[in-house]
Structure 1
Amino acid sequence: MPIGKKFVEIRLVLDAFDQVDCEYVFALRSKILMDSLSVWTNCAFYQTGIESGVPHVDDLCRNIFFDQIDWLEDHPIMSGKLCLSTDQLSYGNSIVAGSIGQGERLARAAQLFHEARIMLLSAPHLHNDTAAALLISALEVVSLIDEPPKNCASCGQPIYKISRRVADLGVRHLGAGAKWIFDRHYKRRSSYLHRGVPHAAQPYTGSAIPQLDPQGIEGCALPTPVGAPMNLMEFTSCIIRAEMRSEVAARSLAAP
């Protein structure tokens, strides 16, 4: 529940054996919940404990939901406060109840997204490539399928086609016009992780001087601010939110 411009109060009703067990369960489930909140709002969340001087949650209106489920940019804000949709509330309740744990596919993807979001907010120009790698990895986790991969006819090794899965995931949620974005970011991640090639590494001192770089994007050396993967961040959270909605719907159909 939002209780100010910078604070969100989380209260959980948990089953536990004793106080120690309760604190452990709270720490575990609140972490999953904060990761999901990051996906739902495009914000980063940190556990701060009890803060004095902020409104109490009971003093604010309840059950104000954000109904624009296909939003992409910025944050889901109503009346100056972050809001959630009804399906996100349902997903959050499943986290609190323990039905969705940290090993769940979308929970793992949300954790990677949250880590990337924290990096981009804490030191925007220092972790662009690492954050982008985490975002692509989050999409890779979302795209995981249960069926075993096919084997190569020549060598017998599994064929995973991960890059295609990530691109197909993006196309399924954002349309065919988005395919090149995911293809490009996947290649950049591979170049960064396996060859140490950053996307944008030129220092920025207040003005940008165009320079050629055979190893750079389209032959140009790019200043670090240009390398911030903001569109990828927004696309990734949008896709994970859509997958979470689908999971909530599937759970509702499966419920007796």
Structure 2
Amino acid sequence: MILDIGITDVKKSNEFLRSLWAEMAKEFGKCGWQYIPYKNKQTKTITFGFMDIGVSILIAGVTYKNNGSIIKLFFEYSDASYDYEYIEGQEDKLIKESELGKRLIRVVRKARRGMRKYNDYYALPTIKSLLPLSNYEGNNFKTEYVGENKTRIYFPVSAYDENQVEGKITQKINQVIDFLSVETNAPFWNIPTTPRENKENTVLTKEVYQELDFIDGFSVKDGYLTISEEAKDFLSYLIDSNGENEDLQTFLNACYHFHTARKYDAQIHDYQGHFDRPLEDGSGVGIEIYTKNQDLRTALVTGGAQTEIATTLYMSALEVVTLIGFQSEKCKACNQDKYSIASRVRNLVNKQLNSHIAKQLNDYYDKRSRYLHRGYMLTNDEPTTSLIPLLDIDGENGCNFPVQVSLINLREYTSYILRAFYKEYFLNKENIKE
């Protein structure tokens, strides 16, 4: 059984499919999948797999003209005697005039009419960080500290059904915490939300915002992580977004790179601390190591690899954000696109910070490239109890240094640049407050 659809844009195609599967579940009580995608470029068909709607298990798929289009939609019984795809002109076992065929036609029509007609839901996920997040309330969200460095976030979500809303909530909260990491320099984690979370007695009656031009350490006031007023506006914008703004998605991808790096970074700099303890005989001072955050204990078994990975991801975050508004040029010799990645990053850093840091990060970029493509390590693989000077022909100063990249500095430079970028690009470009 084949039905005409005629959608030529991938975004509209996926919107139709989301509406279709929700209507299918509503009509038949279930819409389960054995998802085995198969694309035949010769026949221009895509078979999704086996769809279980209770009354039958069907093969379902589409025909297309260009990638992302849906010209026709097909359904067939899974036990029909032909290959795992639809072949033009084949004899249909599932026909439109059958009872099931009529129901499927009705579902498809409802799905077309119901596109972008969502149900409204409300999300209340819980997140955690190294420090508690202060309370904020925007146009469409609210954060509420509930104790033990945990914060509950309330925001609306629209989706076709409960199955799809769970995915949207997960996607949205991941975007939120990636952005919060950039805003505060702290890592965040999703944690299970319990129905009866005991709220700490601390009452935050007034919104507290971070210092202007914050760059060092965490953005903290009175023991709470803080964000800027611009960040509150951006969060409202982010929560309202439906994924269609490509520049916003690119920026969020950069935030994801930063936050992933920050979690590796945390295993080095936030797992353990130390304090000085005078020796009993008065002969000197001993250094005692203590665990700051037991959740980061994987640092013990993964060694120094976090430095390599975090450096790569921090630099990648800067690369990604420079794609926004970038138009590539063609190489005259080979006619391939010229991306000038190092130059783009250097120009961005020079604009938001200064030429000295731009030069320093350009050196980091070169080190990262040597790490990725030549196996050049960013940490000394010959550690000693105390430093001894050694030569290195690739070293900036001609010397071998235990750590080739200052990870804390790189973290702080990267987050500062990303914060400056979103305030300049998005808050000026989009009228978020209205």
User: TM range, normalised to the smaller chain?
Assistant: 0.7 to 0.9
Conserved? CA contact 1:117–1:131, under 8 Å? yes
Q: Find the partner of 2:215 among 50, 59, 72.
A: 72
Cross-structure match for 2:183: 40
Q: Find the partner of 1:118 among 263, 268, 274.
A: 263
Cross-structure match for 1:222: 401
Within 5 A, what are the aligned runs for 1:104-183?
Answer: 104-123=249-268, 125-183=304-362
Tell me the SS of whatever aligns to 1:15: strand
Conserved? CA contact 1:32–1:101, under 8 Å? no
Tell me the SS of whatever aligns to 1:9: strand
Cα gap change, 1:73 to 1:220, in 2 (>3 Å)? same
Cα gap change, 1:208 to 1:4, in 2 (>3 Å)? farther
Cα gap change, 1:198 to 1:167, in 2 (>3 Å)? same
Tell me the SS of whatever aligns to 1:10: strand
Structure 2 distance, partners of 1:21, 1:157, is: 40
Cross-structure match for 1:250: 429
Offset, 1:204: 4.3
Offset, 1:102: 9.6
Cross-structure match for 1:55: 199
Cross-structure match for 1:192: 371
Cα gap change, 1:112 to 1:105, in 2 (>3 Å)? same
Conserved? CA contact 1:120–1:228, under 8 Å? no
Q: What is the identity percentage for the equivalent residue pairs of Structure 1 and Structure 2?
A: 26
Specify every segment of 5 or more residues in structure 2 that has no aligned partner in the other structure, as ranges.
1-142, 270-303
Conserved? CA contact 2:147–2:200, under 8 Å? no
> Whose strand proportion is higher, 1 or 2?
2
Cα gap change, 1:56 to 1:195, in 2 (>3 Å)? same
Within 5 A, what are the aligned runs for 1:77-96?
Answer: 77-96=220-239
Cα gap change, 1:163 to 1:25, in 2 (>3 Å)? same
Structure 1 distance, partners of 2:353, 2:198, is: 39
Offset, 1:81: 0.4
Structure 2 distance, partners of 1:101, 1:127, is: 34
Cross-structure match for 1:211: 390
Conserved? CA contact 1:42–1:234, under 8 Å? yes
Specify every segment of 5 or more residues in structure 1 that has no aligned partner in the other structure, as ranges.
none
Structure 1 distance, partners of 2:223, 2:318, is: 30
Offset, 1:227: 4.0
Structure 1 distance, partners of 2:206, 2:251, is: 25
Cα gap change, 1:105 to 1:179, in 2 (>3 Å)? same
Offset, 1:67: 4.5
Cross-structure match for 2:129: none
* Range with greater deviation from structure 2 (75-84 or 202-211): 202-211
* Range with greater deviation from structure 2 (71-80 or 25-34): 71-80
Structure 1 residue identity aligned to 2:422 = M
> Whose helix proportion is higher, 1 or 2?
1
Structure 2 distance, partners of 1:206, 1:7, is: 39
Cross-structure match for 1:8: 151
Structure 2 residue identity aligned to 1:237 = S
Tell me the SS of whatever aligns to 2:173: helix
Q: Deviations over 1:188-207 (max 9, x none)?
A: 11101111101222354653
Cα gap change, 1:123 to 1:76, in 2 (>3 Å)? closer
Structure 2 distance, partners of 1:95, 1:188, is: 34
Structure 2 distance, partners of 1:18, 1:200, is: 49
Conserved? CA contact 1:202–1:221, under 8 Å? no
* Range with greater deviation from structure 2 (40-49 or 150-159): 150-159
Tell me the SS of whatever aligns to 1:214: coil
Larger Rg: 2
Cα gap change, 1:166 to 1:54, in 2 (>3 Å)? farther
Higher relative contact order structure (alpha carbons within 8 Å, sequence separation ≥ 6): 1
